[in-house]
Structure 1
Amino acid sequence: MISQNTIDTVFETARVEEVIGDFVQLKRAGSNLKGLSPFSDEKSPSFMVSPVKQIWKDFSSGKGGNAVTFVMEHEHFSFPEAIRYLAKKYNIEIEETVQTNEDIAQANEKESMYLVSEFAQKFFQSTLLNTDEGKAIGLSYFKERGFSQETIKKFGLGYSPETWDALTKEALDQGYKLEYLEKVGLTIVREDGGHLDRFKGRVMFPIQSMSGRVLGFGGRILTNEKKAAKYLNSPESDIYHKSKVLYGIYHAKQAIAKQDNCYLCEGYTDVIQMHQAGIESVVSSSGTALTTDQIRLINRLTKNITVLFDGDAAGLRASIRGIDLILEEGMNVKVCTFPDGEDPDSFARKTPYDELLRYLNENAMDFIQFKASLLMKEAKNDPIKKADLIRDMVSSISKIPDRIKREIYIQECSRIMDISEEVLFNTLAQLLQKDISEALKKNKQEQKAFEVHKTEEIGVKTKVDVLYELERKIIEILLLYGNVEEDFEDYVFKATPEGELKEEKEINRYKVYQRIYLSLQEDEVELANPVFREIYNTIINHFNTAEKFEVEHYLMMLSPELAQEVTTILMNDEKATLHNWEAQQIFVKQKEQTISQYVTETILTLRWYLVNRIIEEIKTSISREMDADNSENLSLVMDYSKLISNFSSKLGRVMSRY
């Protein structure tokens, strides 16, 4: 097990904006950072990071927390996995405590699959670098491709021996279980109980997640064996879904976010060669058709994609269909083709970095220009084919969600194809109307399934839970201002020279948490909501025992459920910055300007609500027992009503009943 000292060091070192910045493109929003949610499909940013508080909140999915919880949520890591990941990122040495048999038994299945995959990657690389067969076949192949030793190690490249069970035998000898070797697809178990390696006599390309964990493998055969597939990939598993993974994303993510552009190519060697040449913001779909999930993976880091095509790629027209998928996600697409006979791998191998970068910049063209130049060769002087080409281009434009961009592209298409904008806009309108009709039809079908539920809910009016909101507000105040010292008004009864008691105002200085604690103690009030009650008790205890209140340390003490609620409360306070009110000439009053008033109003409102609830309960009791002597109850109602009047005058406003 990981020692507590290591865990504390990770929490103290990890910066939430740096950790999340590896996965999400963040932009400054006042004192905070914002970006697109990595947990949902959204077009407008509702994901917020607070560097000051070292927390994050995703308003679209409701998730939130600190740097560790982000890694756990995003990569589906356990707590120890997240700590190990962050320790590796910040070069923190992990101290281990002795694991018991029970600890080992509790390792979950998914973690076991990751461990088996990581073992396989090390085995394949060791075979490549340290065996005669690996050096003679695998290493010589990579050297012929121009890959340096540093690149081979960086991408974890390897070689699977030309024997039937080399990996499986070594894994079993090392204590790894056959069931996990089979589940990740490294081992094939026969019906007779025998087993053999899936990969045999191939150079191996490990496929990694965005966080660097090994998910699966691609293996390329080096012989001309006709019965064997040239490339063989790991099968789908609980940790490997090829439609949701991009090869090279782990090594490219920082460069993509920094350069605000991603180069997309087709093969493993394209990615590796481009990366080695200095173009690090490059990924590939690993030979599979581009999927929406893969595009969204890039969309978290940048809005800009440059698709790289071979100069003589077969079926190029079929390949560019992926462009429409990219456009549908609201992204900007450029296309760059290489000279005839060249692909990203071969071109990058022989081209110096400066020339390569210049070529990419000068030859990347807008998707409209690319489609026109490509398809006009087919259309030539055939008016029917030209009409089909124009319709194809307008169809691509219709996929763009942004109306302004659509109009600009229509104008560009009109100029390139020498056709009136009016005709193009009419065609666009027809396509959009068709898409809308299909969407409405689909929506109508989906609504039928919920019709009964909808009928039950008609006429049901949502009622605000006032007590919940007030208790939540108290927690928010404690989290935001608990340690702040403020002057508060106290009202005390003092005897006059005539012996009468008169209420007088005094100004006393308290820390906010002390004021709230004393007020609730005075009224003998305990928060009704169990979650808020537990958070309240932990906060008060933390203020009383710690020298200063630090959110990141406080969150470490909480259960995941409580930490989620605390993060939500904290980041809701920041949410207004997402809307950029000032730019719209709307100036939001900052609570920091009148903290004592804010605290006092909240406490008085809670008192007013609780007293009013007591009055209502007494009235209900009176109505049930009309024949009984209710004089005592009526007297109580009058006394409590005076209290409400007192609260109202202190608040300086007339309060309508809830």
Structure 2
Amino acid sequence: MIDQLTLDRIYNSIDIVDVIGDYVSLKRRGANYLGLCPFHNEKTPSFTVSASKGIYKCFGCGKGGNAVNFLMEQEGLSFPEALKNLAKRYNIEIEEKEPSPEDIKMRDQRESMLILTQFAAEWYTKQLFDSDEGKRIGLSYFKERGFTENTIRKYELGYSPAKRDAFTNAALKKGYKIEFLTETGLTIVKEDRKFDRFAERVMFPIHSLSGQVIAFGGRIMRKDTKMAKYLNSPESEIYHKSRVLYGIYQARKEITRRNQCILVEGYTDVISLSQSGVENVVASSGTSLTPEQVKLIKRFTPNLVILYDGDPAGIKASMRGIDIVLEEEMNVKICLLPEGEDPDSFARANGAQAVKDYIESNATDFIRFKTGVLLKEAGNDPVKKAGIVSDIVKSISIIPDGITRSVYLKETAGMLDMQEKVLYDEIKKIRKKRFFKEKDKQQSRQENTTPAPNERNLISPNEPTLHQAERELIWLLLEHGETELAIDSLETLDEEDNQQMISVADFVLEDLSQDGLTFAHPVHHKILDEMMNFQVKGYAVNEKYFLNHEDSEIVKTIVDITSRNYELSKIWEIRAPEKNFEESNLTRLIERLLVEYKLQRIKEMMREHMEKLKQNQSLSTEERTEIIQEISRLSKVKTQLAAILDNRVIF
């Protein structure tokens, strides 16, 4: 449990632009910042960050919240985990005792796994620097690769001893449970034996975007072995290799600054390039590039250089992920190193400037690269050349933007010595076929999709209007809650002193309380309850309190309301939503909003009663008569409220 004082220190220290800037490339637009949304795929930026309010909002997919919610959503963290992450970022100490077996058992699975992987990373690093075996084998290996101590500590490199159960025993002794050791893949259990997955390997921790250790790669140190040279953690709740890039945590800011990302294959390639001064580099860790990895890069830059070895295997590897990159509308170039070189050896031998100069001079647009390589392979064989045409046309057809496709088509036609129309017709066929295939998939998905039970129960034809009225009252309370109004008083006979002052919040909340009304939408209901609690305690309704709320649904709703991301009622068509306008107009606006809300609530109550009559055929005559009479009573109230709305003009 984090005390309120520490919570306040964390929230007061947060720079939301700084936090989100680690995940999204943000550009200033007036008072706010704009970028591509990390929660859905978009071409035009609609993700807005307000530094003054400390909130973010995507007007494309609707996601919104504060820095804590962002980390929870982005990293899959719990509320306490996100707070601890931010506390660490801003050097705010949170007092916590050493986790006991009972504490660890009480924590949820994900948090326990993250705590364990961090412990493992620290343990492996300690073995590397402090144990005789670690210094003799692991540290010597890293120094032979030219890695400095600063670099080793930056990437949290380590060593796992040859003793097959050294780490497992250390973790169990600390109180970590065997179930989490096996779920993270750090320990393997066979019958009654427990042993370390990574025994006698140098260790490369894999970090999430926020810097949490989520998995490991290990390189074997024995030469006379049939074991795999590199071994990675298995997939787990905290680690999905298709969504992760090695080095992205260390490289993200430099990628944004240089507006370019360099992609390599291995751990040591990343580390050597980074140490040489080329820090905007990440690795796919030996796996084929995936759409999730490409989207991760695109958050920071649209410009990608794929840097691979100059041998035939490197050439093939460099072309595997091109189509995925093109589909994301990224600018991709290929750069092959001289034969016999890899990024690791080339960086160590030449230094940062030489690497940058080489990439600048040798990075080739993917079409020229792919066409050149395939033409060289085909030689004069017409059958192979036809296959090349089909392969390249398929890649061009993937590009979403028509103008870009046209440019590439023209250039390819020249390189292949073919008429543009032939290639154009082929691309048209491929795209048409893909369009109908995707359309069939979407139709199939729609046919097989049914609303979730909670959605079916909560949503009715009248509710959106009722919810809208509730949102407008919440907006009013947040925006004008502390504004003082002068209203007629019945407590004095003095005509010169026949008014009393009352805040907008007290006026609205007391009016709702007197009528026994609360909000229908579950989240609006929670917000209103807390506002009424504020009133009872004599506190002002505080927008900042709700924007920093533990309940992420409340935060999202408040962000939606304060950013006015909902359809406005006709009331707002006859007034501008500025904060400052005449008190008399504000009073009439409040009265009108309250009447409109009550009208919508009456309509909803009538609908519920009518539904009860329709659905429940077993009602007695007396029960049915009672419901009909209630509907009649509500209908009269509805008519009265509607008349008030029709007769009242705000300005």
TM bin (shorter chain): 0.7 to 0.9
Amino acid across the alignment from 1:538: E
Distance apart, 1:137 and its partner CA: 1.4
Aligned-partner Cα distance in 1 for 2:636–2:177: 76
| Contact 1:3 1:95 (8 Å CA) reproduced | no
| Contact 2:489 2:499 (8 Å CA) reproduced | no
Aligned-partner Cα distance in 2 for 1:13–1:150: 28
Aligned-partner Cα distance in 2 for 1:151–1:408: 43
Q: 1:595 to 1:221 in 2, by over 3 A?
A: farther
Q: 1:598 to 1:363 in 2, by over 3 A?
A: farther
Higher RCO structure, 1 or 2 (CA under 8 Å, sep 6+):
1
Distance apart, 1:442 and its partner CA: 2.9
1:398 aligns with 2:385: no
Secondary structure of the corresponding residue to residue 651 of structure 1: coil
Secondary structure of the corresponding residue to residue 56 of structure 1: strand
Deviations along 1:140-197, one digit per CA (max 9) or x if unpaired, are: 1111111111000110111111222111122222222222212211111121x12111
Secondary structure of the corresponding residue to residue 226 of structure 2: coil
Secondary structure of the corresponding residue to residue 314 of structure 1: helix
Q: 1:599 to 1:431 in 2, by over 3 A?
A: farther
Amino acid across the alignment from 1:480: E
User: What residue in structure 2 maps to residue 651 of structure 1?
Assistant: 649
Aligned-partner Cα distance in 2 for 1:639–1:203: 77
Q: 1:272 to 1:90 in 2, by over 3 A?
A: same
Distance apart, 1:12 and its partner CA: 0.9
Q: 1:600 to 1:425 in 2, by over 3 A?
A: farther
Aligned-partner Cα distance in 2 for 1:82–1:610: 40
- Aligned equivalent of 1:553, options 545, 565, 574: 545
Aligned-partner Cα distance in 2 for 1:63–1:182: 35
Deviations along 1:457-476, one digit per CA (max 9) or x if unpaired, are: 9xx99556433211111102
| Contact 2:307 2:318 (8 Å CA) reproduced | no
| Contact 1:467 1:606 (8 Å CA) reproduced | no
Gaps of 5+ in 2: 569-574, 611-620, 626-630
Q: 1:238 to 1:473 in 2, by over 3 A?
A: same
| Contact 2:588 2:650 (8 Å CA) reproduced | no
Aligned-partner Cα distance in 2 for 1:639–1:68: 45
User: What residue in structure 1 maps to residue 213 of structure 2?
Assistant: 214
User: What residue in structure 2 maps to residue 497 of structure 1?
Assistant: none
1:603 aligns with 2:585: no
User: What residue in structure 2 maps to residue 253 of structure 1?
Assistant: 252
Q: 1:287 to 1:549 in 2, by over 3 A?
A: same
Deviations along 1:252-306, one digit per CA (max 9) or x if unpaired, are: 1122223222111100001111111122111111001111121122222222221
| Contact 1:542 1:554 (8 Å CA) reproduced | no
Distance apart, 1:5 and its partner CA: 2.9
Aligned-partner Cα distance in 1 for 2:320–2:200: 35
| Contact 2:291 2:324 (8 Å CA) reproduced | yes
Matches within 5 A, 1:308-319: 308-314=307-313, 316-319=315-318
Distance apart, 1:529 and its partner CA: 4.4
User: What residue in structure 1 maps to residue 616 of structure 2?
Assistant: none
Matches within 5 A, 1:411-560: 411-449=410-448, 462-463=461-462, 465-483=464-482, 512-514=504-506, 516-517=508-509, 520=512, 526-529=518-521, 531-539=523-531, 542=534, 551-557=543-549, 559-560=551-552
Q: 1:232 to 1:540 in 2, by over 3 A?
A: same
User: What residue in structure 2 maps to residue 171 of structure 1?
Assistant: 171
Distance apart, 1:484 and its partner CA: 5.2
| Contact 1:472 1:532 (8 Å CA) reproduced | yes
Amino acid across the alignment from 1:324: D
Secondary structure of the corresponding residue to residue 94 of structure 1: coil
Gaps of 5+ in 1: 494-500, 577-587, 628-632, 654-658
| Contact 2:309 2:336 (8 Å CA) reproduced | yes
Percent of aligned pairs sharing the same letter: 43
1:129 aligns with 2:129: yes
Amino acid across the alignment from 2:319: I
1:185 aligns with 2:177: no
1:563 aligns with 2:546: no
Amino acid across the alignment from 2:578: K
Amino acid across the alignment from 1:567: V
| Contact 2:469 2:596 (8 Å CA) reproduced | no
Deviations along 1:635-657, one digit per CA (max 9) or x if unpaired, are: 9999986775554343269xxxx
Distance apart, 1:562 and its partner CA: 2.7
1:138 aligns with 2:146: no
User: What residue in structure 1 maps to residue 297 of structure 2?
Assistant: 298
Of stretches 33-42 and 233-242 in structure 1, the one that deviates more from structure 2 is 33-42
Distance apart, 1:443 and its partner CA: 3.4
Distance apart, 1:243 and its partner CA: 1.5
| Contact 1:188 1:198 (8 Å CA) reproduced | yes
Aligned-partner Cα distance in 1 for 2:647–2:35: 45
1:274 aligns with 2:312: no
Aligned-partner Cα distance in 1 for 2:636–2:307: 80
Q: 1:464 to 1:171 in 2, by over 3 A?
A: closer
Deviations along 1:106-149, one digit per CA (max 9) or x if unpaired, are: 21122222222222212211111112221121111111111111
| Contact 1:3 1:96 (8 Å CA) reproduced | no
Secondary structure of the corresponding residue to residue 22 of structure 1: coil
Amino acid across the alignment from 2:555: A
| Contact 1:394 1:428 (8 Å CA) reproduced | yes
Secondary structure of the corresponding residue to residue 308 of structure 1: strand
Aligned-partner Cα distance in 1 for 2:637–2:220: 90
| Contact 1:46 1:59 (8 Å CA) reproduced | yes
Amino acid across the alignment from 1:235: P
Distance apart, 1:515 and its partner CA: 5.2
Matches within 5 A, 1:361-376: 361-376=360-375
Q: 1:559 to 1:385 in 2, by over 3 A?
A: closer
Q: 1:372 to 1:104 in 2, by over 3 A?
A: closer
Q: 1:477 to 1:412 in 2, by over 3 A?
A: farther
Amino acid across the alignment from 1:569: I
Between the two proteins, the alignment pairs up a number of residues equal to: 620
Amino acid across the alignment from 1:352: G
Aligned-partner Cα distance in 2 for 1:365–1:232: 33
Matches within 5 A, 1:609-648: 610=598, 645=643, 647-648=645-646
Secondary structure of the corresponding residue to residue 320 of structure 1: helix
| Contact 1:273 1:349 (8 Å CA) reproduced | yes
Of stretches 72-81 and 373-382 in structure 1, the one that deviates more from structure 2 is 373-382
Distance apart, 1:507 and its partner CA: 11
Q: 1:634 to 1:9 in 2, by over 3 A?
A: closer
